[in-house]
Homo-oligomer: A and B are copies of this chain.
Amino acid sequence: MTAPALEDPPLADLPAPKRERGRQRVAAIMDAAVEVFSEKGYDAATMTEIAARSSTAIGSLYRFFPSKEALADALLQRYAQHVSASLAELEAQVQRMSMEALAGALVDFMLALQSQRRFAVALVDARGGSDERRRRFRASARGGIARILQRAIDGLAPAKAHAMSVVLLHLLKGIAVAADETPAIQAVLTGEIRELVRLYLLAARREARG
């Protein structure tokens, strides 16, 4: 039972670059966009800079992404697929993982996302892209976590799993926040969070076994 895809017909109306050239271009633009959105935030990022950083003419950029919001949405979508895939993978392995191991795995999952963290903050938590897309992103991530929890903890009520997924996701996001601190502090904070996740999972299992 894998994660249900997040996807819509992938930006169907965009000229779906068949040529390899086009695909590279789109990738370059998206990478530059992640950079710029991360550094400046959605509002302060400019299409011109994204074009420049990806060595793309502004006109070409608009050929692939018809608006700033469309670009942000595409980014969000790509990120969602990435997250979705990661969670699906984790779900496949979780079967009888100890709570301890699961806590570690969840933290690792978040650490692996680090590179895109500023970007995620810029677009998911702030106002980039459409509300709709943001909502869907969140729902998908929560669903992924909830499924993992239900696999990991026998007898966990679906409602409880969902509630926990919201709290866990939020808690894990703290790892991203920690990235602003010095590496030493960062390590400490990451440890704290892992421990807290563990406590949470254990308590949930206790309750589920009730």
Contact = CB atoms under 8 A, between A and B. Distances in A.
Contact of A203 (B163, B167, B173, B195): B195
Contacts of A127: 40-41, 44
Nearest to A128: B41
Contacts of A171: 170-171, 174, 196
Nearest to A177: B170
A129 to B, nearest CB: 13
Interface in A173-205: 173-174, 177-178, 181, 185, 188-189, 192-193, 195-196, 199-200, 203
B166 A178 contact: yes
A24 to B, nearest CB: 22
A100 interface: no
A189 B174 contact: no
Pick the most buried of A166, A181, A188: most chain B CB atoms within 10 A of its CB: A166
Nearest to A199: B199
Pick the most buried of A159, A164, A167, A185: most chain B CB atoms within 10 A of its CB: A167
A69 interface: no
B192 A164 contact: yes
Contacts of A164: 192
A43 interface: yes
Contacts of A185: 163
A110 to B, nearest CB: 13
Contacts of A44: 43, 127
A74 interface: no
